[in-house]
Amino acid sequence: MPTAAEKGDALHDAVLSIESHILRTSPFLNEKNFKIETKKIVRFDGVHHEIDIYVTVDSAPDYSAIFIFECKNWQKSVGKTEIIDFIEKIKAVSAAHG
C-alpha cells in the first residue's frame, strides 16, 4: 500500500504530466516559450514558499505570465486557510492564475 508521500508524489507527477502535455501541444507555444519548474522555493517579504508546479510562459516580447499549481492529496476538502495561503503564494510571485 502506498504511503501518503507516495500518493502525493503520484498526484504531483500526474498534474505535471498533464500541464506539460498541454503546453507542448499548444499551437501557440514551442519549447522556447515556456518553462516548468517543480517544488520551486521562493521568498517574499522574508517568507519562504514552496510551489509545487511553477510555469512561466513567454507570450510576448518582454512579457511573461506565471501560473502556479498546488497539489493536495487529501481525503477532505481543502479549507479556507489553505485557500488563503494559496492566494498569498499567487500574490507573492505575481502569478496570472493559480
51 C-beta neighbours (distance < 10 Å), count: 23
DSSP annotation of 97: B
Could you give the angle at the alpha carbon of 52 between the alpha carbons of 80 and 81, nearest 5°?
Answer: 10
- Give the span between the Cα atoms of 36 and 14, in whole angstroms: 14
- Write down the pLDDT at residue 40: 92
Quickly state the pLDDT bin for 24 (edges 50, 70, 90). Answer: confident
Q: Which contacts of 81-87 are long-range, i.e. CB under 8 A and separated by 24 or more positions?
A: none
**Cell 504531483 sits on residue:** 12
- Write down the pLDDT at residue 38: 92
Q: What residues form DSSP beta bridges with 43?
A: 48
- Write down the pLDDT at residue 97: 87
Task: Enumerate the domain spans of the chain.
Answer: 4-92
Quickly state the pLDDT bin for 18 (edges 50, 70, 90). Answer: very high
pLDDT digits (tens, 9 = 90+) for 37-94: 999 999 888 888 889 999 999 877 788 899 999 988 788 888 899 999 899 899 989 8
- Give the span between the Cα atoms of 53 and 89, in whole angstroms: 12
Query: For residue 28, is pLDDT > 80?
Result: no
Quickly state the pLDDT bin for 31 (edges 50, 70, 90). Answer: low
